[in-house]
A and B are shown apart, each in its own frame.
Chain A
Amino acid sequence: MNEIVVEVKNLTKKFGDFIAVDNISFKIKKGEIIGLLGPNGAGKTTTIRMLLNLISPTSGKIIIFDSDLSLHREKILQRINFSSSYTSMDWRLSVMENLIVFAKLYNIPFPKEKIEQLLRRFEIWDLRNQRIASLSSGEATRLNLCKALINDPEILFLDEPTVSLDPYIADKTRRILKEIKKERNLTILYTSHNMPEIEIMCNYLIFLHRGQIIANGNPIEVTKKILTEEKEKPDLEEVFIRIAENKI
């Protein structure tokens, strides 16, 4: 249970003079759901993109499954996946066609069975022959999650995965993710601006502000660290507002 699957060491990303991520270090244990939080521009998405090798770090190291990501990219990416509200799949192809392409990219045996199982789980099986362009944003978000689970990843990076879902579907999606996590001891790194969702989903939080980690720990530890007044329960909404208002 204490196996470290991700280790980030002194990670920094500069875009010219702008420091997006400033010397952060953290570890993720197998089976944890970690919340990576912070206001817009805090460095969450840049961190996730570096963990996916879509952006090269300026300095620092990313170790996943005991291997350096910069040296063992293909081997590591075969075992992880992501879903982001900021990316989409080919809008000209159907749901099924897109997922078949990704199943083949990950060399999944019996791709159609796997795809059917995922689409049914996220209740979008009826949309399998529809073009991506015709999907609502909520349907596209659920499709992105199906893509993210196509290779049975051991680590899942989710960048605001429920941002365009209505409360009912968002709740259902969270439940499915928790079920899958339980079934397979999946590790999840989760970003969201929805603090109640983070309280439900995550057992460990990393709060970023201006590229730096300003607090980490479980929700109550982070609440106590950031808010000066005594709190008995986590209050991440208030923590978030204080950080965004620069009142810490």
Chain B
Amino acid sequence: MKLYRIIALLWRYIYLMKRELGKLSEVFYWPVMDVLIWGFVSIYLDKTNQQLNFFASLFLSGMILWNIFNNTSKSISVSLLDDIWSRNLSNLFASPLNPMEFLTATMFLSLFKIFATLLTTSFIALLFYSFNLFTLGISLWANFINLVIFGWSIGIITSALILRYGTKVEDFAWSMPWLFTPFAAVWYPVSILPGILRMIALILPVSYVFEGMRGVILIKTFLWDKFFWALGLNFIYGILAIWFFHKMFKSVKEKGLLTRNG
């Protein structure tokens, strides 16, 4: 793996963002809209129903953290789509660039975007709702790490599917993170879910992240067991995602789809 090839791809994304400011909407516009709308809804519910203590904190931190997972995953697969749309994949992979360098560049890019989203949405939450996400302390960063790793895994799996099946499955880039939302228990505890759905939730790292987040807000305790469960599952998903991408990449080269799809 060569760092200069990863940096070359990052330059490309920087040029692209400079040329297409609309691309920044996924970093700033949509997450800010989410926080604004659902922040005011949760404040309203807090005021009208005194039994719902911490509703705003739970809802806002859930919204901000969910955006981290959603945007990380999207960022990975949309980066690949950018190359498919511009029919640039043949040029890239006829160079010494290898698939792992390509993925690493998209992962770095997603980190830049996520930090920008996190800082912006946290600032909005502080400004309008006096909610300081950073008071979550170490738990925020522990959850952040787990969400980013799972976002990468799902983004890599989605990219592998797009690489294999082409633009006919391009909507997966946006819809795939939502597939996990009902089971992630972002805004409700896992115990609410009925039998089979709860089983699914328990094999997803994100459900442990959001359970852990509620632990910090409601009982002021960082639940280390939830953190390590999420980290362990992430390790498995990460390995599976990279294996799946390599398998699809090999299949794409055998079927001659790299040049046909991009």
Contacts and interface: CB of A to CB of B under 8 A. Distances in A.
Contacts of B15: 93-94, 97, 101
B258 A92 contact: no
B130 interface: no
Contacts of B87: 87-88
Nearest to B92: A105
Contacts of A91: 86
A97 B88 CA distance: 14
B220 interface: no
A105 B97 contact: yes
A60 to B, nearest CB: 14
A107 B4 CA distance: 7
Interface in B78-99: 82-83, 86-88, 90-98
Contacts of B258: 54-55
A52 interface: yes
A93 B16 contact: yes
Contacts of B91: 87, 89, 102, 147
B256 A93 contact: no
Given A92-B86, A93-B16, A106-B95, A56 B250 contact: yes
A64 to B, nearest CB: 13
A15 B8 contact: no
A10 B176 CA distance: 43
A232 interface: no
Interface stretch (A77-85, A202-210, A212-220): A77-85
B256 to A, nearest CB: 5
A111 to B, nearest CB: 10
A15 to B, nearest CB: 6
B253 interface: yes
B206 to A, nearest CB: 33
A132 B225 CA distance: 53
Contacts of B88: 87-90
Majority SS of interface residues in chain B?
Answer: helix
Given A49-B256, A56-B254, A101-B9, A92 B19 contact: yes
B94 A92 contact: no
B247 interface: no
Contacts of B8: 101-102, 104-105
A25 interface: no
Interface in A46-85: 46, 49, 52-56, 73-75, 77-78, 81-82, 84
Among B2, B11, B259, chain A packs the most CB atoms within 10 A around the CB of: B259
Nearest to A144: B91
B255 interface: yes
A77 B19 contact: no
A170 B256 CA distance: 30
Contacts of A54: 90, 93-94, 253, 258-259
Given A46-B256, A104-B4, A89 B86 contact: yes
B259 A49 contact: yes
A152 B98 CA distance: 20
Contacts of A92: 16, 19-20, 86
Contacts of B7: 104
B24 to A, nearest CB: 14
B168 interface: no
A93 B11 contact: no
A49 B7 CA distance: 26
Given A54-B258, A89-B91, A105-B97, 13 more contacts: A55-B256, A56-B253, A56-B254, A77-B95, A87-B259, A93-B15, A93-B16, A94-B15, A97-B12, A97-B15, A100-B11, A101-B8, A104-B8
26 contacts: A46-B256, A49-B259, A52-B94, A53-B94, A53-B253, A54-B93, A54-B259, A55-B256, A74-B96, A74-B98, A75-B96, A86-B259, A88-B88, A90-B12, A90-B86, A92-B16, A93-B19, A97-B19, A101-B8, A101-B15, A104-B7, A105-B4, A105-B8, A105-B96, A106-B96, A147-B91
The 9 lowest CB-CB distance pairs between A and B, nearest first, are A104-B8, A90-B86, A74-B96, A105-B8, A97-B15, A52-B94, A87-B90, A101-B12, A77-B96
Interface of A: 13, 15, 46, 49, 52-56, 73-75, 77-78, 81-82, 84, 86-94, 97, 100-102, 104-107, 131, 147
Interface of B: 2, 4-5, 7-9, 11-12, 15-16, 19-20, 82-83, 86-88, 90-98, 250, 253-256, 258-259
